Chains A and B, each alone.
Chain A
Amino acid sequence: MSRLRASLTPYALLFPGTLWLAIFFVIPTVVMLSLSLQSGDVVNGYAFTFNWHSYVDGISTYHDQIIRSLVYGLASTLIQIVIGFPVAYWIAFKGGSRKSVYLFMLLLPFLVSFVLRTISWQFFLSDNGLLLGPLKSAGLVPQDFHILATSAAVIGGLAYNFLPFMILPMYVALERIDPRVLEAAQDLYASKAQTFLRVVLPLSLPGVFAGVLMTFVPATSDYVNASVLGGTSNTMVGNVIQNQFLINQDYPTASALSFTLMALLLVGIFAYARALGTEDVLEVAAR
């Protein structure tokens, strides 16, 4: 009896949370899939008709936004690796007793609302704002020079907003490297460059992968940066989904686009998960 109870304990613990996730996370995904295959309109209601046209129409109408999202997502992720790796490296190996201070500083942006931070950038970069105003009055840049409403502004905003998510997993991976491994490399007459390229870099890859996972998904699906920093000509698929869902209430098209986005992201995630094993990714992501 108590044996049976012991074997049921984990299920009892899981039950309420799992129920919540099932009803409000798993089932909605299925509902959205069905919604994406319906036809009709807001006034007359929608009916399930296996209507693939929402996908065909959605993708052909908005392929620019879809491609732009992937390009912006990839570009910002690469920028984050390049910017973040030296930081993670320095904190992990040279941070000494002040490692936690540096990590704390890296996490400071998360104490300010994401929307507010992005608006703060808009404000800083605006055509006559804190940065360009003085530069223009000093004659260092032309009067019609602008940063906002360019793709660079959006990619920069994305790179900014998710950078800590890239640095932290890389830091965790680098920090875990046993110093004795590095000593061994030196004992075997590896030069500093060789040690870095053939020992440190490979050992840091799980962290880079986890960082990519944590930044590529939110960056690709973001629409806040594109709306605030990108003006009207740099919209991403997130902007379209938001407009179709909340303003036009064209649920089938919006659902089809969300599903397309999810499918594209899933392909990427599964490639990573396969390369690493989910457990590992979760573990690194959890730290």
Chain B
Amino acid sequence: MKRGLLRGRLLQIYTWLVIAWLVLPIAVMILFGFNDTHGRFNTSWQGFTLKWYGKLFEIGDLTQALVNSLVIAVLTMLVAGVLGSLIGLALGRYRFRGAGAMNLVMFAAISCAEIVMGASLLSLFVTLAVPLGFWTIVISHVMFSISFVAVTVRARVMTLDASLEEAARDLGAGPWTTFRLVTLPMIFPGVLAGSMLAFALSIDDFVITNFNSGGTVTFPLWIWGATRVGIPPQVNVMGTLIFAAGVLIALGNALLARRRANA
């Protein structure tokens, strides 16, 4: 009995160690946003300061890169959110010829190596002489996000009871009314989750963006460019703020879900 208890504890300690390993670089990032560094390289601890939070937007290119990332992520969230949700709805609700092929394409898009996706999209743009920049980044982000949104929404749609929609139709609601008043509210949590996933994928993407960005710089690309010359503490601060926002949204989401479950 005692041995079993110990073994249970060991696994628990082990799990916490793995979590600590996963979180360690984040802790390092947050800590060095408070580092009172003076040189170009923010690599050794010089004392605590809040000054980088005050000088957050002093590097013009970096601020512009962050703004680009946010705008692109919002556009991706909206476009991929709508297009992906429609696909998810079709695949989850209807049986039709071609559904298998569609599943296969989405499976390919989800499991395809990012570098292959980025390189082949660049091949298309190069062949057609499309100028690279802001819009080619948006196109690429929507492209790789659609399938993730579709799969998320499809999972939600499949758990729903189709008879509710039939009931709405029996009560005289037209297809559009049924969709607006019955289907959409039911699938909305899935749509929201899928869209947020698209936002997260977009704001974090490096590889595909790197291939299709031209002269436009996003937050990850700016950091990549700065690795050789030293990462300024402002990057740590921005990373910390994005992280904090993500944690708050996730916690808020969980609280809402719990409240809804209790109500």
* B14–A14 touching, CB < 8 Å: no
Instruction: Say yes or no for B216: interface residue by CB 8 A criterion.
Output: no
A189 within 8 A of B: no
State A242–B15 Cα separation when bound (angstroms).
36
**A217/B111 contact (C-beta < 8 A), A111-B247, A242-B210 known:** yes
**A14, A121, A130, A221: residue with the most chain B Cβ atoms closer than 10 Å:** A14
Residues on A with C-beta less than 8 A from B44 are: 133
Contacts of B32 in A (CB 8 A): 123
A-B contact pairs, 7 of them (CB 8 A): A90-B11, A90-B15, A111-B243, A217-B111, A221-B114, A283-B155, A286-B151
CA of A281 to CA of B111 in the docked complex: distance in angstroms? 10
Residues of B within 8 A of A (CB): 8, 11-12, 14-15, 18-19, 21-26, 28-29, 32, 43-44, 82-84, 86-87, 89-91, 93-94, 96, 98-99, 102-117, 119-124, 126-127, 139-140, 142-143, 146-147, 150-152, 154-155, 175, 200, 203-204, 206-207, 210-211, 219-220, 223-224, 227, 231, 235, 239, 242-243, 246-247, 250, 254
A26 to B147, CA, bound (A): 13
B-chain residues with CB within 8 Å of residue A124 when the two chains form the complex: 24-25, 28
Chain B residues, CB < 8 A from A245: 119, 122, 211
Which A residues lie within 8 Å of B143 (CB)? 20-21, 24-25
Pick from B12, B120, B204 the residue with the most CB of A within 10 Å.
Answer: B120
Q: Is B254 a contact of A100 with CB atoms below 8 Å?
A: yes
Query: Which of the 9-residue segments A102-110, A140-148, A173-181, A196-204 touches chain B?
Result: A102-110
- Chain B residues within 8 Å of A205, by CB: none
A18 touches B11 (CB 8 A): no
**Is the beta-carbon distance between B243 and A251 smaller than 8 angstroms?**
no
Nearest-neighbor residue (CB-CB) of A101 within chain B = B254
